[in-house]
Structure 1
Amino acid sequence: MSRYGDREDEVRRMLESPHPQVPADLAARAVARGTRLLHRDRAVRRALWALVVAAVLVFAVWASVDEPWQGPAETTPPVEGW
């Protein structure tokens, strides 16, 4: 018999066997876990946005104080005698 036939027979045996009992509070536990996951995801998203905003503010303050677009105030003197 082929492997496909073996798998098919195994699946049929599993489906014909009696199904296990489902815990009575399974739906309540699933809802509670889903709620926890949603709250955690929301908290992580808010923390990442706060980090992005803080990084933008730090960059803006640094740029306004240092003014990197101005360039250096003094340059090196020309090299003579080469």
Structure 2
Amino acid sequence: MNRRGRETAVREILERGSVQVPPELCADAMRRGGRMLRRRTAARQLMWLVLLAAVIAFVVWATMTRPWVEPPLETTPPLTGW
């Protein structure tokens, strides 16, 4: 549909006048919106929990392996008996 056709369709819809809305539409929309909000909140909390677990796992790994410390040199034997 081109632009002129869309404009014509919109004008026809607007010229028809107001349409009766079913009375239960608002309650259904509120129920669905509340459900979506609860799901979004639960998903956000789950993502924060996963992020917190990842940070804790990284901190535990870093304290156990200490990647910032250089490994001991094992290329030369120790000098003993001098």
Deviations 1:8-34 (A, max 9, x none): 554443223254432220000010011
**RMSD of the TM alignment (CA)?**
2.3
Alignment of 1:1-82 (within 5 A): 9-17=8-16, 19-74=18-73, 76=75
Deviates more, 1:58-67 or 1:68-77: 68-77
Q: Aligned partners of 1:19, 1:39: CA distance in 2, in Å?
A: 33
Query: Aligned partner of 2:60: which letter?
Result: V
Q: Tell me, which stretches of 5 or more residues in structure 2 are unaligned?
A: 77-82
TM-score, normalised on structure 2?
A: 0.72
TM-score, normalised on structure 1?
A: 0.72
Would the alpha carbon gap of residues 29 and 68 (structure 1) be closer, same or farther in structure 2, given more than 3 Å must change? same
Q: Aligned partners of 1:41, 1:13: CA distance in 2, in Å?
A: 38
The count of corresponding residues between Structure 1 and Structure 2 is 75
Q: Tell me, which stretches of 5 or more residues in structure 1 are unaligned?
A: 78-82
Q: Could you tell me the percent identity over the aligned residues?
A: 41
